[in-house]
Structure 1
Amino acid sequence: MAGRDLHSTWARLLVRSLADAGARDIVSSPGARSTPLLIAALAHPDLTVHSIIDERSAAFFAVGQAKVTGRASVLLCTSGSAGAHYYPALVEASEAGVPVIAITADRPRELQGNKAPQTIDQTNLYGRFARDYFDAGMPDGTEDALRALRRKAAQSWSRAHGAKPGPVQINAPFRKPLEPREPNDEGRALRKLADEIAREPVVRAERPEARAHPDAVARLAEKVRRAERGVIACGPGALANGGARNALYALATRLGWPVLAESTSQFRFTGEASETRIDFFDTVLRSDEFRARMKPDLVLSIGGTLTSMAWPLYRAAHPEAFLAVLAEHDWSDASNRAGEIVFGPVAQTIDSLAHALSAQDAGAHADRNATDPSWLASWKRADAHAAGALADRFESDAPLTEGALTHHLVRSLPAGSLLALGNSLPVRDVDWYAQGAARDLAVWSQRGANGIDGLLSGAAGAASQWPGRTALLVGDVSLLHDLHGILTAVHAPKPLTVVVPVNGGGRIFDLLPLARTGAVPAEAFLYWTTPREPDFAGLARSLGATCLPVDTVSSLEKALTESTELPGCTMIIASIAPRTVAAEQEEIRAAATQAIDRDHA
């Protein structure tokens, strides 16, 4: 039947406008109400459409993509509860400052508030976690409405990539019929008008370039110049921060300060030795004596809050040390003790600080206090003792431990790979067991909200955009939380290796005070560790993944090599005795602490 085919014209203009603004990836979940938009996306030559059944998995996939590209992926779903499944991933995107656009198809106004099927109030569905909300409005053939729709697309793109990037919702209602119709004369005229509008350049609305305030940099430079015993601590940061590695280490070398870089900071895995990097600082700071003796006068914190469990102990031991924070856009001061927060792109701020120090040294402030020469040397000796506690520990063909698994995974990755880390234990394991000189790697994580949900889906999204190899280290409980992520990874456009330590549930709780106090009986402690014993290999294979079970170092090394040649999703299921996790950490820390304390006796 012929008609105006207004829905098709309206949807095509919205999708084309987003593509003109910069969109390249559409992540779609099935549903009828979004039909006009999906048809338009599939027809656009510049867009890649990824089909993911579960909206929660789809949203984490999109966020994973955007963490790599810095460009918003566009989510597309039907009406009703579908859009609500985006919520956890959009919380992560909001907290991490990651752009993403969620188009939630909707029912028309006459079906709102009267119990019509699959209809809820979708207005501002994501609350304060969204940077903005746009109502696309019902399809309207007037020129003003068509121009407004194109403007809203450009505006949503601009808001998603604003001063602090994040999620934006576009709510797009449609009436039936949703399927395209052969346009009549009026419909052809409407299509011509929309095409003419779309051929006009889309409005560009670049946000002002953020830079650290010169006064803040000057104040910080003066503090740094006078400090004798400084520490540079690097917490979670965007992949783009990797571009500041050389500048950071040049600054640290110039100052004679140790760099305590967590894996997620992008400053740890340089693939080469460093005069200033302290790889195993979490282990080093477990020594009460060392922690008390190494009194800093300034701490320069870069990025988000450190994951290290020992770092808060060190900060609490020396609350008088001046704390300066380099932050992209968030108030990153979990200790509530910061004396200066310098907002701006990390790489640019580090460069500005180095230039300010040079200017001060060359001018009237040439009386810069010299760094205590024993300061960095003491840190490096302690780090060597911590490394010594690990030496040769993971080389024998013994049953797998958490440490051996992590150590060999990192060493197996080619330079330029993307190492994706799950939360809870995996993100800490890498800091405990892997040296920064092992490989030159970028590290992907979900440290915005630090949840265990959507990790496999997010890593699959990241892998789809990363030019090299991607491997994910994720816990067994996290995997169970995102089983649909296996299906997502299997159908993703690029291969992904997933390494899963199956160790009887959430073993991180074995390392927390709760496990040591005896306040909770063993049978009740299971409510925290939640051990489950599904057939992980069977689950993986049933969803189309290749599964490689391992339980020794040699079988792990063989599986890691084999996985590089396999397409799709390869899951390495590593069996680890549950009680070895805490025991291994305790043994390593005891050996390292003994050596550190003996050296400084």
Structure 2
Amino acid sequence: MILQPILDLVSICAAQGITDAVLSPGSRCAPLTLAFARHPDIQVKTISDERAAAFIAMGMAQQQEVPTVLVCTSGSAAYNYAPAIAEAFFQQIPLLVLTADRPPEWIDQWDGQTIRQQEIFGKHIKASYQFPDDFHHPDKVWHAHRIVREAILNAQEFPMGPVHINIPLREPFYPNKDEAFDFKEFKKFEVIEGKRTLSDQQAAYLQSQLESYQKILILCGQQRPSVDVHRALEEVIQSKSAVVVSDTIANCQVDGTICFHDHFTVFEPLVDSLQPDLIISFGKSIISKNLKLFLRKSDARHWHISPNGYVPDTFQKLSTVVRGDVAEVLRLVKTRGEKATHFIQAWTNIDQLIGSRLPVFLKAAPFGEFNALQKILQEIPADSIIHVANSMAVRYLNFLGPRKQEIVANRGTSGIDGSNSTSVGCALTTDKFVTLLTGDMAFFYDRNAFWHNYSTPNLRIIVFNNHAGGIFRLIDGPANQPELEEFFETKQSLDAKNLCEEFGMDYYAVMDNPTLENSLQGFYTPSTHPKLIEVFSESVTNAEILKEIKGRIRKLVSEK
């Protein structure tokens, strides 16, 4: 017999607009599995590997901005969710995590698949709840309903994030043969939330403060694309009232944005001409370490715009938190009119210079993953989504300037785990092409992302296989150690050909420019299954190419 409150849990999810659940098989979670599988308004997918399941669910929720449900059995299964939950927490992605558990009296009694699951995700979860374990009193049923509603609302409230309900379940787990499920109808619990806008007095105060600064730098952190924010940034740039700097993951690289900053903010001779008086930031993290260090050395004040939630002091300069709408606050900057044109021109000139010369430098370089990526990016449809793995892949992408596609990266915790799975989750929610750019270490680490029965014909994968963690060759510390190859790069000999055969992907091996050009022909034509290009290179060569290009940029800048 399936408990009615378990059926009600699923009905409440549907009433609150949740449409997708990702389940991992198990016996203790059978009541939840059957309830979600049989509800007519929930689309259910089964992913056996809980770590992959959690990242797939996160990729779905990230695109839809609605919680995806995760369901797993008791024991270590829940712990396998942890990497994705931490990533979702710091990226502010909504998940409703449901873990089946043994009844409380059987915890710590050496029973199978039993660990301490209450608050298992610690400080990396927005909220944790313990579902009632008996329903003899009507208040217990009301309590169960309240927990589910509260958890869903908590996941969706800004800043969004993962929430956890631990659900103790007693046997029997399975319904009788003729048992019918009674999904009751629940009305949607509404939250009417007004837009957070500045009062006239607050806007006037900020405008008066802005007048006291000459050199303003607007810094865009990681976020989903926003039409309102794009328009506000375009107005600021056109008014010549501030410099706008954007990493690739900010999805804010409108015309006139500074996008090649990672190449030149490291140069000491440029510091004086580029230093701002005021930094205005919004969004989450940035990739560029050079930019972070540059801003930390400045004497600027720092405003951060955020409607709500915690605000970190990334540049050790935080002086003001503006609780308002990002686009509204940015438009206050343009009212200053044209100011500090020499400051804006200094940033623009160097950015445009590097943007014009970098393709020339790459064309002259030997074949490697850096110039291969540049050619691949030219073929990716503008109206598509790029998922990029951590380590060198996201850095190369940031080096190469502005993109029109939506850029997604797991920069909440910046780990290599889960990039494949996140892109699969995204591909399951859209008809657009989804391209994953990844290195070999991140790709093989998450190979179970493809171990499922669901079609993702819109998925395209580029694996840069240098048979090692090549980033360590570019960091002075590990690069200078005799243990570099064995203990840091961790040399490996795999390729993706067999994996593609196992999971039904078209496979293209690339060793040079001609094979790359051949592989890209028709790569983005519609297909019935995913396609993968594997670009082979040597980590030593890649490191030499990058160092050579950095040297040429340094020389170029020093001559101007």
Partner of 2:347: 379
1:16–1:528 distance in 2 versus 1, CA, 3 Å: same
Q: Residue 126 and residue 217 in structure 1: after superposition, are their counterparts in 2 closer, same or farther (change >3 A)?
A: farther
Stretch of structure 1 that moved more, 328-337 or 204-213: 204-213
Q: In structure 1, what is the equivalent of residue 442 of structure 2?
A: 478
1:22 to partner: Cα distance: 1.5
Alignment identity in percent? 25
Q: C-alpha separation between the residues in 1 aligned to 2:200 and 2:520? A: 48
Aligned-partner residue type, residue 426 of structure 1: A
| Cα 1:457/1:205, change in 2 over 3 Å | same
Equivalent residue number for residue 354 of structure 1: 331
Within-5 A mapping of 1:419-568: 419-433=386-400, 435-436=401-402, 439-488=403-452, 491-493=454-456, 495-515=458-478, 518=480, 520-521=481-482, 523-524=483-484, 526-564=486-524, 565-568=526-529
Matches within 5 A, 1:130-529: 130-138=125-133, 140=135, 143-181=138-176, 198-205=184-191, 209-211=195-197, 218-237=204-223, 239-241=224-226, 243-268=228-253, 270=254, 274=255, 276-317=256-297, 319-327=298-306, 329-344=309-324, 348-355=325-332, 358=335, 371-394=339-362, 400-433=367-400, 435-436=401-402, 439-488=403-452, 491-493=454-456, 495-515=458-478, 518=480, 520-521=481-482, 523-524=483-484, 526-529=486-489
Asked if 2 retains the 8 angstrom alpha-carbon contact of 1:66 and 1:98, the reply is yes
Shift in CA distance, 151/333, structure 1 to aligned 2, threshold 3 Å: same
Structure-1 separation of matches of 2:265 and 2:313: 20
Deviation of 1:26 after TM superposition, in Å, equals 0.4
| Whole-Å separation in 2 of the counterparts to 1:354 and 1:282 | 26
Question: 1:422–1:472: 8 Å Cα contact kept in structure 2?
Answer: yes
Q: CA deviation at 1:545?
A: 2.9
1:596 has 2:560 as partner: no
Check 1:302–1:199 CA distance in 2 against 1; reply closer, same or farther (3 A cut). closer
Question: What secondary structure, in the 3-state scheme, does the structure 1 residue paired with 2:96 have?
Answer: strand
Specify which structure has the higher proportion of helix: 1
The whole-number CA distance in structure 1 between the counterparts of 2:205 and 2:497 is 57
Once the two structures are TM-superposed, the CA of residue 88 in structure 1 deviates from its matched residue by 0.9
Q: Is the 8 A contact 2:12 2:186 kept in 1?
A: no
Change (3 A) 1:209 1:106: farther
Aligned to 1:364: none
CA distance in structure 2 between the partners assigned to 1:378 and 1:245 by the alignment: 23
Alpha-carbon offset, residue 596 of structure 1: 2.1
Q: 1:331 to 1:491 in 2, by over 3 A?
A: same
2:100 alignment counterpart: 105
Report if aligned partners of 1:305, 1:332 keep a CA contact under 8 Å in 2. no
Contact persistence 1:70–1:99 (CA under 8 A): yes
Go from structure 1 to structure 2 and tell me whether the alpha carbon gap of 1:568 and 1:595 turns closer, same or farther (over 3 Å shift): same
- Tell me the SS of whatever aligns to 1:104: strand
CA distance in 1, matches of 2:198, 2:421: 35
What is aligned with 1:365? none
Give the Å deviation of 1:14: 1.3
Q: 1:141 to 1:212 in 2, by over 3 A?
A: farther
Distance across 1 between alignment mates of 2:435 and 2:413: 21
Counterparts of 1:407 and 1:464 in 2: how far apart (Å)?
A: 27
CA distance in structure 2 between the partners assigned to 1:336 and 1:464 by the alignment: 40
Partner Cα separation in structure 2 for residue 208 and residue 322 of structure 1: 30
Secondary structure (helix, strand or coil) at the match of 1:377 reads: helix
Q: Which moves more between the two structures, 415-424 or 212-221?
A: 212-221
Cα deviation for residue 217 of structure 1 reads 5.2
Contact 1:135 1:172 in 2 (8 A): yes
| 2:532 partner letter | M
Report the aligned-residue RMSD. Answer: 2.6
Q: Is the 8 A contact 1:464 1:494 kept in 2?
A: no
C-alpha spacing 1:351/1:133, structure 2 compared with 1 (3 Å): same
Task: Give the aligned residue type for 1:509.
Answer: F
1:407–1:535 distance in 2 versus 1, CA, 3 Å: closer
1:507-563 alpha-carbon deviations (Å, 9 max, x no partner): 2222223156x3x22x34531222211133223322333321112233223333433
Label 1:404 to 1:209 Cα distance change in 2 as closer, same or farther (>3 A): same
Tell me how far 1:216 sits from its aligned partner. 6.2
Q: What's the TM-score once normalised by structure 2's chain length?
A: 0.92
Distance in 2 separating the partners of 1:405 and 1:375: 35
Which ranges of structure 2 fall in alignment gaps of 5 or more residues?
Answer: none
Closer/same/farther in 2, CA of residues 165 and 510 from structure 1, 3 Å limit:
same
CA distance in 2, matches of 1:209, 1:250: 22
In 1: Cα distance, 2:49 partner to 2:29 partner: 15
1:172-193 per-position Cα deviation (integer Å, ceiling 9, x unaligned): 222222111157xxx88xx7xx
1:12 maps to which residue? 7
Distance across 1 between alignment mates of 2:2 and 2:555: 76
Amino acid at match of 1:224: L
SS in 2 for 1:539: helix
In 2 relative to 1, CA 122–208 (structure 1 residues): closer, same or farther, beyond 3 Å?
Answer: farther
- Work out the CA distance in 2 between the residues paired with 1:220 and 1:106: 52
Q: Is the 8 A contact 1:487 1:544 kept in 2?
A: no
Range with bigger deviation, 376-385 or 91-100:
376-385
Relative to the length of structure 1, the TM-score reads 0.86
| Contact 2:215/2:242, CA 8 A, preserved across alignment | yes
1:42 matches 2:37 = yes
| Higher deviation after alignment, 153-162 or 49-58 | 153-162
Where structure 1 has 5 or more consecutive residues not aligned to the other structure, the ranges are 362-367
User: Which letter does structure 1 place at the counterpart of 2:300?
Assistant: A
